[in-house]
Homo-oligomer: A and B are copies of this chain.
Amino acid sequence: MARQVRALATREQILIAAADEIRRVGYSEATLAAISASAGVTTGALYFHFDSKQSIARALIEMQHRIVRTAAEEILKRPDESPLTKMMLMCADLGDRLVDDPVVRAGIRLTTDQSTFEKPVQEPYRDWLITFEDLATEAEAQGQTTGEIPPVVLARFIIPAYTGVQLVSETFTERRDLLERIHEMWQILIRAILPSDAQPAALAEADHIFATSRSTAAMQGA
């Protein structure tokens, strides 16, 4: 018992250290020596908890996915929000974590960088694609959208577009402008998928969501 508690703590430390290292330099440049040193354990301990370097990466991706999916489920459960609002909330929530949460940052880098695994990671993308397609379908069923863009097409664009926005934001500002860029993305998407008369309300809603997201709020405060 007490043993297990200690073991889990060590495991966690290793993952945190690995997350930090991978976020900084990427998977292939991250070394187990640096990770174990930063975690304050020996490589022996590291190999007791993980089979290989790849298994650490896998654990990290899984952990990140669990974090963001849990948040997504929360949002999905809210009864009062429209499907469109839920999409924007998810984008804002993930955006916040992409700025703040080391594990999420590392997980995204592992997913985005193509050098990590032989086969590219598809799972996380697939989950998001399904979630967004479902929400888009729901929105169309409720008459919220114009119906000109099929839900699957919409999802199939938003997810990659979001991926790209986050990546380029990292490239230019280390994600400091990420929430603004996501906001702008939605200002464009709203005009593409909502009927003219519904756009003003949705744009106001977007303003509200991205103005009150954690990162943006922090910048206002500064």
Question: Which A residues form the contact surface with B (CB < 8 A)?
Answer: 25-29, 109, 112-115, 120-122, 125, 146, 148-149, 153-154, 156-157, 159-165, 167-172, 181, 184-185, 187-189, 191-193, 196
Contact = CB atoms under 8 A, between A and B. Distances in A.
A163 B157 contact: no
Interface residue SS majority, chain A: helix
A97 to B, nearest CB: 18
* 3 tightest A-B CB contacts, nearest first: A164-B164, A26-B115, A192-B192
A86 to B, nearest CB: 19
A172 B114 CA distance: 12
Contacts of A171: 114, 120-122, 125
A112 B109 CA distance: 11
B165 A160 contact: yes
Contacts of A159: 164, 168
B167 A163 contact: yes
Contacts of A165: 157, 160-161, 164
Contact of A167 (B167, B187, B191): B167
20 contacts: A25-B115, A26-B114, A28-B28, A28-B29, A29-B115, A109-B114, A113-B115, A125-B171, A125-B172, A146-B191, A156-B181, A157-B185, A160-B164, A160-B169, A160-B181, A162-B164, A164-B164, A164-B167, A188-B189, A191-B191
